[in-house]
Chain A
């Protein structure tokens, strides 16, 4: 039953000391946390400043024309970024064209069609795709994807659409097309998982209303659910774009790394990230390095805008934003 209190309250216990640290401890801790929190902001600001500073010589020398001049000549110290800008935009666009329909199909399947447990398992598998290191994808790209593109995809495209300049020319496998495909593979996980979250956030009443009108499942999806979530899905696509723009290693392993604007999907090309990866450690002159850093700055600015835009769009539709890899 209850514990009998010893008569006379037993031996006196030591007085409980004043709480450790005094109020100063709380203040100091708050300062510590704030400093480290602010450090994140300082870090990003530092990156911007360092990049701008190091890119200044090139900015001053070439001005805005840097972005649309296509001559990249380290020997004569003339640098124009257009081939890389073009390659970045082209490979990313191609990647989006391939990845977005597939990702939408995946998201629709996971949310609307698959039974719950299968949906969880499949989501897990697709997110695992996002965890694959880029260099391993590149390795697979060189030895599996590019040969396949050369042996199967490019001949097929040439046979059907070869009259278009876009699908003409010698078929190496390595080139813009392979880069587009490998980028698509890399962005499918993020576009599909964010789209999945967006579709899940669509209120059930939207679906129920359509069902009540006698619509088929596909009609509910295509006329009620997806249109409702279109803003968020656009956000997901832009997130994928952001990822594709910055991808370096897998791209440089399969794109061919030729600093010229390609006229066909079968030709090699070059992206900003790829040229940074390849030529940075070999830049011989200060201007060379500065030009490369200016391109890194462009990449920084573009990725900042794209990511901010994407997150804003997604946040409008889902009630929380999650950091998806």
Chain B
């Protein structure tokens, strides 16, 4: 197969060796998701490796965001939504009847497409809200968590002197990093990112991508993106979805250079989507 896109090519030129033997953090087994009668995710199965970045790509409407939201039990928040299948987090099905969805969401965090800091709260309050509203009040602990999380989100230096400012007073890219810090503060094992940079300028986008790579050391990351170059730059494995089904899943370098499926190739080369 020929490479069409120089951007992808150069991203892959840094190519890492394909790994084997990495444990799976999340195992998805035959997942179906519905909105009322609409069948949005059709029988999807895949393993998400721990401490790696997995990208989900596909044309808009293919169900990638719906799939992502099934991984932290946010899908069921929408009225009329339901799902079938299992999602195993460290071996336990998050959808087992005895499992509290709120616990799942603490362990699997999420960053949304548009930054959504809480408008009535300061930067500091935004970061620690996940702890504070769950009962942790000790100021020293919160201070430490705030510094740590903002540091992990590469925002500490920019805001350390203005923590009392409203969260919404930051720029778009900073707000998104604030939301990442907020998600990190509750110490999740997995971080889901739903097109986190699509509303941002290129400079902020790159910052977010670098951030993701840094965070990989401590977290598992699943990132949904419609930007193939981003997927190629950032991820270790990529899954391609189309109309609710998983078409292909494999190491990123392979998927972009030697896609196994015709549809994958068509999408990557820009024939549709």
Instruction: Please determine if A and B sit in direct contact within the complex, based on CB atoms under 8 angstroms apart.
Output: yes
Which A residues are closer than 8 A to B by beta carbons? 1-3, 5, 9-11, 13-14, 16-20, 22-23
Contacts A2-B211, A23-B100; is A16 near B187 (CB within 8 Å)? yes
B145 within 8 A of A: yes
CB pair A5–B152 under 8 Å, yes or no, is yes
| B contacts, CB < 8 Å to A | 100, 102-103, 106, 130-131, 133-136, 141, 144-145, 148, 150-152, 154, 156-157, 186-187, 210-211, 214, 217-218
Assuming the contacts A2-B211, A19-B134, asked whether A13 and B154 have C-beta atoms less than 8 A apart, the reply is: no
B148 pairs with A14, CB closer than 8 A: no
Residues of A within 8 A of B144 (CB): 11, 13
Judged by DSSP, the binding face of A is loop
> For the complex, what is the distance from the CA of A126 to the CA of B26, rounded to whole Å?
62
CB neighbours (8 Å) of A23 from chain B are: 100, 102
| A-B CB contact pairs (8 Å), 26 listed | A2-B211, A3-B151, A3-B152, A3-B157, A5-B151, A5-B152, A5-B217, A5-B218, A9-B218, A10-B148, A11-B144, A13-B141, A13-B144, A13-B148, A13-B187, A14-B136, A16-B106, A16-B131, A16-B136, A16-B186, A16-B187, A17-B134, A18-B103, A19-B100, A20-B133, A23-B100
CA distance A13 to B142 in the complex (A): 10
Of the candidates A5, A11, A16, A17, the one having the most CB atoms from chain B within 10 angstroms of its own CB is A16
- Once the chains bind, are B134 and A3 in contact (CB under 8 Å)? no
Residues A2 and B210 in contact, CB atoms below 8 Å apart: yes
Cα A19 to Cα B211 with chains together (Å): 28
Q: Which residues does chain B contribute within 8 Å of A20, judged by CB atoms?
A: 133-135
Kindly identify which residue among A1, A2, A11, A17 contacts B135, using a CB–CB cutoff of 8 Å: A17
Partner of B136, one of A1, A2, A5, A17: A17
Residues of B within 8 Å of A11, CB to CB, are 144
Contact A2 B102 (CB under 8 A): no
Report the separation of the CA atoms of residues A124 and B144 in the bound assembly, to the nearest whole angstrom.
51
Contact B154 A3 (CB under 8 A): yes
Chain B residues whose CB sits within 8 angstroms of the CB of A16 once the complex forms: 106, 130-131, 134, 136, 186-187
B188 nearest in chain A by CB position: A16
Tell me which residues across on chain A come within 8 A of B211, comparing CB atoms: 2
Are the C-beta atoms of B156 and A13 separated by less than 8 Å?
no
In the assembled complex, the CB of B106 is this many whole angstroms from the nearest CB of chain A, namely: 6
Question: Are B154 and A19 closer than 8 Å at their CB atoms?
Answer: no
Q: Kindly list chain A residues whose C-beta atoms are within 8 Å of the C-beta of B218.
A: 5, 9
In the complex, what residue of chain B is closest to A18 when comparing beta carbons? B103
CB distance from B112 to the nearest CB of A (A): 20
Is B154 within 8 A of A2, CB to CB? yes
Given A3-B150, A19-B134: 20 more A-B contacts, CB < 8 Å: A1-B154, A2-B210, A2-B211, A2-B214, A3-B152, A3-B154, A3-B157, A5-B217, A10-B148, A11-B144, A13-B148, A13-B187, A16-B134, A16-B187, A18-B103, A19-B103, A19-B106, A20-B133, A20-B134, A22-B100
Contacts of B214 in A (CB 8 A): 2, 5
User: How long is the Cα–Cα vector from A44 to B136 in the complex, in angstroms?
Assistant: 43
Residues of B within 8 A of A5 (CB): 151-152, 214, 217-218
Q: What CA separation (Å) do A5 and B133 show in the bound complex?
A: 26
Kindly provide the distance from the CB of B57 to the nearest chain A CB, expressed in whole angstroms: 26
By a CB distance below 8 angstroms, the chain A residues around B186 are 16
Chain B nearest CB: distance from A30 CB in Å?
14
Chain B residue, CB-CB nearest to A22: B100
Distance A10 CA – B214 CA, assembled complex (angstroms):
16
Name which residue of chain B comes closest to A26, CB basis: B102
Q: Which residues of B are found within 8 Å of A2, using beta-carbon distances?
A: 154, 210-211, 214
B156 to A3, Cβ gap below 8 A? yes
